A and B are shown apart, each in its own frame.
Chain A
Amino acid sequence: MTLLEINNLSKHFRSGGRDVTALDDVSLTLDPGQTLGLAGASGSGKSTLARIVMRLLPPDGGSIRFAGEDWLALSGKDLRRRRAKIQMVFQDVLGAFNPRATVASVLDDPLRIHEIVPKSDRPRKIAELLDRVGLQANLADRSIRDVSGGQRQRIAIARAIATDPALIVLDEAVSALDVSIRGKVLELLVELQRERDIAYLFVSHDLAVLRAVSHRITVMDGGRLVETGPARQVIDNPQSTAARALVSAVPRLRIQTPQGHSYEP
């Protein structure tokens, strides 16, 4: 069964007296437990799409079905209740947290708001979430500002899985991380997906990251989806100008042997 089905979504913005088409007739589907990589350059519309899926922005037209329901028709209490099932992880995690929050309070919020576990059980659940994302339980009392960038991104992931979501929208979720940490965070995301059958809509301009974690990749350009297919097919044989530009822009590690031969390992 399809988890997420988007049909003919459109969105315009007025900017400086001009009409900007952010989304133009966008349709896509995502199955449970699968990752769809949404690639595109800055301004291609990928973050607008992510925000509409999150119901942070209303579209001008089109429909979204999520878990068999008309996702755009939900409002009030029904929407609040269903929201637990779609979570989001941002690039700038510090900006996504209350700066005065402690690690424990960041994880306590979703458990309380969505009534996941009774109050008395929350400390145990918080420790379990921290452990699941590879962090020590004694981090719970620290301020969210006093942990490293990699730890903070793990906490954002713990917060996202706290409500047992079916879909997580990852908006450039590893782009700000050091490379030595990035790989471990990607591995964690893939493990959580296998274990809990979570679908990811992974938004990034970096095809190398999307290649590592996506089952399928869709490429956006000027508000339109210009190419969609299995990850390997889009990377190895890009058809659209936008996909070809993204593929060729990925920095290649060039190692020259002392004899002057060049190879890409």
Chain B
Amino acid sequence: MSTLCEIRDLSVTYHDQPNPAVGHVTLDIEAGGRLAIIGESGSGKSTLARTLAGLLPPRTRVTGEIQWTGGTPPRPGRDLGFVFQDPSSSLNPVLTIGEQVAEGARQHLGLGWKQALARTQEMLERVRIAQADRMLRAFPHQLSGGQRQRVAIAAALAAKPKILIADEATSALDVVVQAEIVALLDDLVRDAQMTLIFITHDIALASGFADRVAIFKDGRLVEAGPTASVLAAPAQGYTRTLLQSHLDLTSPPLVEEAAT
């Protein structure tokens, strides 16, 4: 697999902050791969995602290097799509679903409105929005949280980017909808042979479909590597802590069983 981007000794410090949000990170991202960036709050995982996407606020200090294969960084919206945690705040409340998804296709693919809307309807069907033709005229507040996130994914993918960054894209959704959205991302990324960078706090969620993982804590990269080897044989104590803290249906309960 070829490398999409080489991150070397990257540090990012927000304006007026004494400490870097991300410090001395060195990491390779493979083209066409699925990289899960795993960390808890304050780990720097979202800052790294925003740095890659060129979405840092003004006056943020960035040192170190990000080398993109091909020389120039991906153009946000065109070469790189971004899905945020909260779909309500990433969609414009006064635009219809059709308008906001078509905007990306119009801007970046040079389509007219009519073609862009046709592309939008196709995208809404791809993300499995029922009655896509009617949904073009709906507003975000008329949709459920899961539907809004599907629309946000459609908008991120409208311009056929080669890279998709999903930043805690399923954390605000209930587990059933989360499972559907993860399955959807899985399909879309495979079909379009995109590079997926999946930011999450949930190591189990990442274990299901990432081929590489990078574990972050307090702004530092703890360890990175193929999912299988990092999870089966973690080199770092913190990775083991994350694995041990994971709670699923086989974890021993903390209370005794109720009598039947």
| A residues in contact (CB < 8 Å) with B | 34-35, 41-43, 149, 178-180, 182-183, 186-187, 190, 193, 205-209, 211-216, 229-233, 235, 245-258, 264-265
Contacts and interface: CB of A to CB of B under 8 A. Distances in A.
B232 A209 contact: no
Interface in B185-208: 201-205, 207-208
A252 to B, nearest CB: 6
Nearest to B248: A208
A221 to B, nearest CB: 10
A119 to B, nearest CB: 37
Contact of A211 (B179, B227, B251, B259): B251
A254 B177 CA distance: 20
A41 B176 contact: yes
Nearest to A248: B179
Given A178-B201, A213-B253, A230 B258 contact: yes
Given A190-B254, A215-B258, A258-B228, A249 B175 contact: yes
B245 A253 contact: no
B51 to A, nearest CB: 22
A149 B228 contact: no
B229 A180 contact: no
Chain B interface bracket (under 10, 10 to 19, 20 to 34, 35 or more):
35 or more
Interface in B213-248: 227-229, 231-232, 241-243, 245-248
Nearest to B252: A212
Given A42-B173, A179-B242, A208-B249, A35 B255 contact: yes
Contact of B248 (A182, A186, A231, A250): A250
B80 to A, nearest CB: 26
B227 A251 contact: no
B260 interface: yes
Given A253-B203, A255-B228, A255-B231, A178 B179 contact: no
8 contacts: A42-B146, A179-B245, A190-B255, A215-B256, A215-B257, A230-B260, A252-B204, A258-B228
B257 A230 contact: yes
Contacts of A251: 175, 178-179, 202, 204-205, 207-208, 248
A7 to B, nearest CB: 21
A190 B248 CA distance: 18
B257 A149 contact: no
Contacts of A245: 176
B96 to A, nearest CB: 17
Given A252-B208, A255-B207, 8 more contacts: A178-B40, A178-B201, A213-B254, A216-B258, A231-B257, A250-B249, A257-B228, A258-B232
B174 interface: yes
A183 B244 CA distance: 10
A213 B230 CA distance: 30
B145 A42 contact: yes
Interface of B: 40-41, 144-146, 173-179, 201-205, 207-208, 227-229, 231-232, 241-243, 245-251, 253-260
Interface centre among B179, B229, B241, B259 (most CB of A within 10 A): B179
A258 B230 CA distance: 10
A264 B205 CA distance: 13
Nearest to A260: B228
B174 A42 contact: yes
Given A42-B145, A248-B179, A253 B257 contact: no
B249 A211 contact: yes
B247 A209 contact: yes
Q: Which of B205, B208, B245, B249 has the most CB of A within 10 A?
A: B249
8 nearest A-B pairs in the assembled complex, by CB-CB distance: A215-B258, A178-B40, A251-B204, A256-B228, A205-B174, A249-B179, A253-B204, A249-B175
Contacts of A212: 247, 251, 253-255
B228 A213 contact: no
Contacts of B256: 215
Contact of B175 (A186, A206, A253, A258): A206
Contacts of A34: 258
A214 to B, nearest CB: 7
A229 B260 CA distance: 8
Q: Which of A34, A207, A208 has the most CB of B within 10 A?
A: A208
Contacts of B251: 208, 211-212
Nearest to A189: B254
B174 A253 contact: no
A54 B204 CA distance: 34
B40 A179 contact: yes
Contacts of A229: 260
